[in-house]
Amino acid sequence: MDEKEDILNLRTQLHRYNYDYYVMNSPSVSDMEFDKMMSRLQELEDRHPEMYDPDSPTQRVGSDLNDEFRTVPHRHPMLSLANTYNLTEIRDFYQRVSDGLHGQPFQICAELKYDGLSISLHYRNGRLEQAVTRGDGIHGDDVTANVRTIRSIPLVLETGTAEIPEEFEIRGEILLPWQNFERLNAEREQSGEALFANPRNAASGTLKSKDPKVVSRRGLDAYLYYLLGDTIPSEGHFENMETARSWGFRVSRDMKLCNSLEEVWEYIRYWDTHRRELPVATDGIVLKVNSIAQQKALGMTAKSPRWAIAYKFQAEQAETTLREVTFQVGRTGVVTPVANMDSLQLSGTMVHRATLHNADVMDALDLHVGDRVLVEKGGEIIPKIVGKNTDGTHGEAQGAPIRFIHRCPVCGTPLVREAEEASHYCPNDLHCAPQIIGRMEHFVSRKAMNISLIGPEMIQQYYNNGWLHDVSDFYRIRHDAKVAESVARSTDVPFERVLFALGIRFVGEIAAKTLARKFKNIDALMSATAEQLLDTDSIGKVIAESVVNFFASDENRALIEKLRLAGLQFALSDEQLAAHSDVLKGQSIVISGVFSHHSRDEYKRMIEQHGGKNVGSISAKTAFILAGNNMGPSKLEKAEKLGIRLVTEDDFLTMIQQ
Ligand code: IVH
């Protein structure tokens, strides 16, 4: 059969399987089968670049298009909904609708209020054209490149139960499912990065990421709940959403058409508890008048439609007795006050500890031992104390007032609080046990030295036994065969990751990479002044000072020497050195066509190593196109029109060798 035809068939099938898997939750082929078809498609597409299609299932892994978001106007403003917190206001809403419709019968569509980020998707001729965030409601950010990586958002629509309008907009919510949220936070904890407080923040951070590959990996999901356009299929909102589902969108199956206020109550009562079984976060119920004609008749106020309302669930609160406040020291020395309370049941789990965040939050609550405190578990994972019951009816005498501490609870060193920072921290980083242990855990973690056979329990035990004093001891003490092998393997870990593994405050993965590239070896970095550090791209004052402080310590310098003797990499390898230059500095380069010497990914890496940037689409700013064979006709035309130079594979390789 014709390969081009194969490409088209594979695309149709893979779109279908994606839909079954991500929207229907019922995979129709095995993962292996799916992967096989995907790589077959990739292979054929590589052979036929003229068949390039941005909507192909192979493009889901994330292209590397724009790195700045464009702000665009919304075609229809994105209004929010009036919020209510009690059932009386729901009754009032129902009555207002009835009055506004002069007693006509009406139906209410009740649905869940998803707690994520609203998104507006534009489709033209059955293809996703643009995705825009809510922004200020009038303008939003164009996040199309990121949204394209979300598997449950169709790039190409299916033939459904009604004709697809030539052009329409559909709105919904982007969410990070609980499971993916927990996995992400576990990974972040491992690498010492700040945790996201709730899935909404995580989804927001993810959607605004500059790298669609990151977005693709994190596993966002989307539920759609509102169809707009001049020619939408039906007169009822509920029916429209069913049709949208048949086109391939994920539309909640938990929507319900209600014919009376009683049915609305029933829906709210049911979901107030059962929402906890859903895979994504919800924070309420949305009620919408179902008929579009009636919606139009009711109209809008300045801020929100008169035909819809949101009812927010109460974050679950309960009262218990405060027994004690303890103070925890983290890997970076930050001290967090933690309330220890009599156990209570909250949102389905037993709770007996709650965070008090920092000294300001704690002082504002004015806590005493024996206080009756109100504990809340809202969108956040960790419960918090939101107030006290001061009506005095509980009769328990007020105990001693609780104050923030002045010395580290573990090592006794006076705590420090930097101006403008919320947290106190223990400055005794070298000798304070939780900080030492935290650094050791960081050192062996996957993105650092990746010594996977040494885990937190082993570190704690070895530390207690007095076998571990600093991370160089991992290379000195005797391990059993398997562990010894994984420790030995870590001596091949490249310089930039060794630098990250040292756990210098504020030096994350990216900063470590940048510093390694600029200074090339540890000696140059150790003797760098703050000014020299500041002269590095994207290294600011906070990081520069932290690096200088770290290497000013004799103990840290001694540690470096011990690690050097153990054979760790403290310089870029010859290969890394040879492969770097500035010849492409500041140039945006498009890769197109099929190559014979290296793969596309390899060329992409070379461009970056020589200071250039690989971009996905041709514009006036493109420096040149690295052109292989069979470049697509539309790209050729665009290049010609803008007068952009084509550089062959061989010329490119010569160019970077200089
Ligand atoms: S309808 C004009 N339906 O809640 C009606 N919104 O303040 C447009 N939301 O910004 C919104 N679930 O981000 C609608 N089932 C649902 C929703 C929902 C969550 C969000 C949305 C909106 C906010 C309302």
Q: In this predicted model, what pLDDT tens digit does every residue of 119-173 receive, in sequence order?
A: 999 999 999 999 999 988 888 999 999 999 999 999 999 998 999 999 999 999 9
Contacts of 165 (CB under 8 A, 6+ apart): 229, 230, 231, 232, 233
**Distance from the first to the final alpha carbon of the chain:** 46
Residue 629 has φ and ψ, to the nearest 5°, of -80, 160
Q: Which of 80, 240, 255 to mutate to test the pocket of ligand 1 (most atoms within 8 A of CB)?
A: 80
Strands 372-377 and 316-329: antiparallel
**What structural domains does the chain harbor?**
3-61 (1.10.287.610), 73-312 (3.30.470.30), 317-388 (2.40.50.140), 433-577 (1.10.150.20), 581-657 (3.40.50.10190)
The per-residue pLDDT for 66 is 37
Helix locations, 368-455, DSSP H: 433-444
213 CA distance to ligand 1 middle (Å): 28
The least confident of 65-74, 181-190, 479-488 is 65-74
Atom of ligand 1 nearest to the CA of 226: 1
Write out the catalytic residue numbers: 113
**Amino acid (one-letter) located at 614:** N
- Residue 196: pLDDT over 90: no
The per-residue pLDDT for 537 is 72
286 lines ligand 1 (CB under 6 A): yes
Place 402 in a pLDDT band, splitting at 50, 70 and 90.
very high
425 against 32, higher pLDDT: 425
The per-residue pLDDT for 192 is 62
The per-residue pLDDT for 193 is 67
308 lines ligand 1 (CB under 6 A): yes
- Residue 410: pLDDT over 50: yes
326 lines ligand 1 (CB under 6 A): no
Atom of ligand 1 nearest to the CA of 255: 15
Nearest CA to ligand 1 atom 6: 113
With beta carbons less than 8 A apart as the criterion, state whether 424 and 401 touch.
no
295 lines ligand 1 (CB under 6 A): no
| pLDDT tens, residue by residue, 294-352 | 999 999 887 789 999 999 887 778 899 999 999 999 888 889 999 999 998 886 678 89
Nearest CA to ligand 1 atom 9: 113
The per-residue pLDDT for 225 is 98
**Amino acid (one-letter) located at 543:** I
How buried is residue 545: exposed, middle or buried, by Cβ count under 10 Å (0-12/13-18/19+)?
middle
Atom of ligand 1 nearest to the CA of 305: 2
State both tokens at 657.
């060798």
490 against 25, higher pLDDT: 490
**Amino acid (one-letter) located at 63:** S
- Whose tokens are 């994520």? That residue is 116
287 CA distance to ligand 1 middle (Å): 10
200 lines ligand 1 (CB under 6 A): no
d(CA 109, CA 206): 31
632 CA distance to ligand 1 middle (Å): 41
Count of beta carbons in the 10 Å neighbourhood of residue 126? 17
111 lines ligand 1 (CB under 6 A): yes
Nearest CA to ligand 1 atom 23: 80
80 CA distance to ligand 1 middle (Å): 7
The per-residue pLDDT for 63 is 43
User: Whole-prediction pTM value?
Assistant: 0.58
d(CA 246, CA 154): 11
Three-class SS of residue 334?
strand
Nearest CA to ligand 1 atom 4: 113
| pLDDT tens, residue by residue, 333-347 | 889 999 999 998 886
241 lines ligand 1 (CB under 6 A): no
Place 115 in a pLDDT band, splitting at 50, 70 and 90.
very high
81 CA distance to ligand 1 middle (Å): 7
Contacts of 544 (CB under 8 A, 6+ apart): 530, 533, 534
| pLDDT tens, residue by residue, 45-104 | 888 888 888 888 887 754 433 346 888 999 998 988 988 888 899 999 999 999 999 999
| pLDDT tens, residue by residue, 554-607 | 999 999 999 999 999 999 988 777 777 888 988 999 999 888 888 887 888 789
Which of 239-243, 542-546, 647-651 ranks highest by mean pLDDT? 239-243
Q: Which of 79, 85, 118 to mutate to test the pocket of ligand 1 (most atoms within 8 A of CB)?
A: 118
State both tokens at 585.
């500095």
- Segment 409-434 mean pLDDT: 90
Average of per-residue pLDDT values in the chain? 89
- Residue 423: pLDDT over 80: yes
Percent of the chain, pLDDT > 90? 57
Angle value at C-alpha 492, between 487 and 497, nearest 5 degrees: 95
Count of beta carbons in the 10 Å neighbourhood of residue 406? 8
CA nearest 325: which of 364, 361, 346, 354?
354
The per-residue pLDDT for 513 is 87
CA nearest 150: which of 206, 205, 202, 196?
206
